[in-house]
Structures are given as structure tokens and as C-alpha cells.
Amino acid sequence: MTEKEKMISGLDYLACDKQLKAERIKAKNLCLAYNALPAEDFKSKEDLLRRLFGKIAGNVIIEPNFFCDYGYNIEFTDNAYINHNCVILDCAKVTIGANVMIGPNCGIYTATHPIEAKARISALESAKPILIEDNVWLGGNVTILPGVRIGRNSVIGAGAVVNRDVPANSLAVGNPCKIIRKINND
């Protein structure tokens, strides 16, 4: 099994693998090219995003600066808006549902490392997928940690660190993120 296959399967893998390193360099170069495009060059932006991401459907707007690790593990359903300075570490799949709004300076991190120093020094890492369901709004400076699912119609308050699943129709805030009330979406 290759290191890439291990990574995508959620197993421990070596990120320093030659293939993975080359794929990260490709994605980072596409991000740099995207970030350098003129604000009004919508066609070139769309073309670059289609080359970068695993799946992109409908209207997706991403403000510069945007960075990701691989790109091919990021999937958009439709009608997403990502504000400035977003970082997505997509070692595992990141699925972004329809009508999602992501505020500035947000981080979406699938990568994780061993807690024990000896294992961490060995350069092994693993990744857990992240799912952001339809109609979610992430406020500015939100951090989403590996393996989290954010349920549809939820709002995550600015500055929150989301370390566990958030059920649908929830308003959640804080570090660590806690649900403070349900949202009535009728």
C-alpha cells in the first residue's frame, strides 16, 4: 500500500513520501497562482479551482489568500463562499455542502499527529475527514479539528475551536466549541 493510499484510508502514513510531497507542491503552486489572479478575472479563478479541487459544483467563491495541502480531497456541493485567509489541510476528505459561508482566517484541519513524542518524531501522521453540511456559517477565525461533522443549518461563532461534532440546527461557540442553543429554521 502506498503512503497516499494509507493517507486516504485514514491509516498512519509518512507525509515526507516523494509522491505526497510532489502533490503538495503542485497544490501549493496552484494556490499561489490563484491568489495572484486579479480580483475581476473570474474565468481564470474558476478554471484554477477546477484544476485544484476533487469536486466542485455550482457557484464557489474563494477570496485570496487561500491555501490547501492537496486540493483533490476537497469537495464542494454548490454555492459556497470562503472569505480571506482560509487554510484547509486536506490529508483526508473535506466535504463542504451547499450554501456554506466560511468567514475570514478559518482553518479546517484533517491532519493529526501522535501524542507520544517518540511516535511523533518518527514523522508518522494520520488524517480524519471533515464534513460541513448544507447551510452552515462559520464565523471568522473558526478552527475545525480532524474528524468533525457540522450539521446542516448550524452556525459556529467567531473564534470557536470545533473539536467534536455539532448537530444540525445548532448555534455553537467557544474554545472548546459548545452548543449554546438550537436554531429554529422554520
Q: How many CB atoms lie within 10 A of CB 155?
A: 19
- Please tell me whether residue 160 adopts helix, strand or coil conformation: coil
Looking at the DSSP bridge assignments, the partners of residue 143 are: 107, 161
**Residue 162 — φ and ψ, nearest 5°?**
-95, 105
Contact 143, 162 (CB under 8 A): yes
Looking at the DSSP bridge assignments, the partners of residue 80 are: 60
Amino acid identity of residue 29, one-letter, is N
| Burial 127-141, CB ≥16 within 10 A → b, else e | bbbbbbbbbbbbbbb
Alpha carbon 143 to its chain's center:
10
Catalytic residues: 113
User: Given phi > 0 = left and psi -120 to 50 = alpha, else beta, which region is 71?
Assistant: left
